[in-house]
Amino acid sequence: MSIRVHHLNYSRSLRVLWLLEELELDYSFQTWERDENFRAPAAAAEVHPLGRFPMVEVDGRVLVESGAVLEFFANREGKLKPSDEAEKLQCTMFLHYAEGSLMPPLLVSLIFARLRSAPMPFFVKPIARGIADKIDQSYTHPALDLHLGFVEKTLSERPYFAGDSFSIADIQMFYGVEAALSRASGERPHMVAWRDRVTSRPAYQRAEAKGGKAVPGS
């Protein structure tokens, strides 16, 4: 099997490098750099029409969407997925929860943080900041409190997201947890302990050495 990973710096595509290191599969990878606006380069659309990372070429096919990529390789290798039915359900849930529920308020928080510091005419700044504050108060902060409280409680009850064993759910959840610990306020001791636990894995350390950090400043 021929595997080539297209990796964007500071992105979710670190998940795929980590997964392949855990599975001890041979692969090559190409690193892409973000542009001056911290966006993926337009040329990435030549690999896949969406131009979104990760993109993984497997025997002539291009796989996209990190959750789908993780499931593809875990199913193919028969590893990193629980055999217990209850834990299997938890693994699947967190595989979708990471992007479907946890990431949206984190993304909104990042967008408005950048808006507050963006250059703009002085008479516009109070209006822009007022809008950002209103949305944060009515949506972003309550949503983050809800989701980070749920994540913290989950990790207070078990060492990994699916249960007692490390799985692709942990790889998928890492980006959101790392972003939350970097940007959100509040004490999250169980999230910190989990982060320390998974980043001590040799496969993660090899992936980070190749692809860099998942989140700027983490």
Domain topology for 85-201: Glutathione S-transferase Yfyf (Class Pi); Chain A, domain 2 (1.20.1050)
The position carrying tokens 């980590």 is 18
d(CA 79, CA 71): 10
Per-residue pLDDT tens over the stretch 61-95: 999 999 999 999 999 999 999 999 999 999 999 99
Helix orientation angle between 202-211 and 14-23, rounded to the nearest 10 degrees = 140
Residue 68 Cα distances to 74, 169, 177, 202, angstroms: 10, 12, 19, 24
pTM of the complete model beyond 0.85: yes
Q: Is the pLDDT of residue 102 over 80?
A: yes
Q: Could you tell me where in the chain the CATH 3.40.30.10 domains are found?
A: 3-77
